[in-house]
Structure 1
Amino acid sequence: MSEIRTIPTDDEIAAIHNLIKRSALAAVEFHEVSATRLDENRQREENEDAVDVSLTAEHFIGDGRFGIRLVVKLYPYMGEIGVTVAGEYEVSDAEPIDDTAVRAFGNEVGVMTLVPYLREAVSSLSTRVFGKPLLMPTFERGAVGFDLGAVEK
């Protein structure tokens, strides 16, 4: 099994800079904000500090716009939390929007723009539903994002 490549090449960095110049963040929206607390007799018998985390990134390209979406699912022993947040960007010209440029932009700009929204929602939801804040773990650059594919040599 091969690893995904999330760190951009020099050409992809140039495409990111071009996309940054041509676009503006138009909206940040939540598509899901949910938490479920399990009854005490249904709670998982695990270490109270153990939390399973699934974090994925999605993207779309539309007419004159593109978007980045992050989906997080957390499974602490007492229940589960799901948050989906999306950033939508408008492009200022009619030049086509390149898929690889959007994925590279997502890795370098989009993910880091949206993570604070995810972290706040997870903390707020867990405090309200579980009675204590749950902090989403931090991660290194490139740990979450889009596969940029093989580099041609």
Structure 2
Amino acid sequence: MSGDASPELVALVKSTEVVRIRFTELTAVLDGDRGDLSKPQFRLGFARRVDQPREFGIRLRCWSESEDGTQLAATAAAEYQIIEETLDVPETPLLVEFANEVAIPMLVPYLREEITSLSSKVFGTGLLLPILTRGMLVFDPADFVATP
């Protein structure tokens, strides 16, 4: 975690265990010649379980599409459980902070391996995700807060 992590994030990290990591999407479509897939995009998603107030999931989707219809996408999901019985899943701003500091650094290596493997099998050449140093891939909590 970065040195400017909030006290709430520090408490959440200390009270959370990763339950599993899995993929919810793996897609590669070769339509004609392999077009330019060198500019991957990322999207962050969350899941809360109503029946389990101390469990939550964070999904990170990586995809790229070329003008000729070639597509490549993978979504990695990390599922977490809060082990401290007095804590429930926090509100979205803290989940985004958790994703930026904990989940994204955890999920990117899985995505990198799967994107390379999948593109190698379908396109004949493995596509490598660019190096993402800390802070290069972050999401703003304001993007996830519903406005009235």
Give TM class, smaller chain. 0.7 to 0.9
Consecutive unaligned residues of structure 1, counting only runs of 5 or more, are 1-6
CA RMSD of aligned residues (A): 2.4
Which one of 61, 81, 91 corresponds to residue 48 of structure 2?
61
Which one of 122, 126, 130 corresponds to residue 137 of structure 1?
130
- Specify the alignment match of 1:117 in structure 2: 110
Partner of 2:118, secondary structure, is helix
Which is higher, the Rg of structure 1 or of structure 2? 1
Return the TM-score normalized by structure 2.
Answer: 0.79
- Specify the alignment match of 2:62 in structure 1: 72
Identity %: 29
Partner of 1:101, secondary structure, is helix
Give, in whole Å, the separation in 1 of the partners of 2:132 and 2:108.
Answer: 10
Map Cα deviations across residues 64-123 of structure 1 (whole Å, 9 max, x no partner).
Answer: 111111011123577211100100101112423222222111100100000011000000
Contact 2:82/2:88, CA 8 A, preserved across alignment: no
What is the Cα deviation at residue 51 of structure 1?
Answer: 1.9
- Shift >4 Å, 4+ stretches: 7-10
Structure number with higher relative contact order (C-alpha < 8 Å, ≥ 6 residues apart): 1
Consecutive unaligned residues of structure 2, counting only runs of 5 or more, are 143-148
Q: Say yes or no: does 1:38 pair with 2:39.
A: no
Per mean C-alpha deviation after superposition, the further-off stretch among 117-126 and 93-102 is: 93-102
Distance 1:144 1:58, change over 3 A: farther
Give, in whole Å, the separation in 1 of the partners of 2:88 and 2:2.
Answer: 20
Q: How many residues align?
A: 136
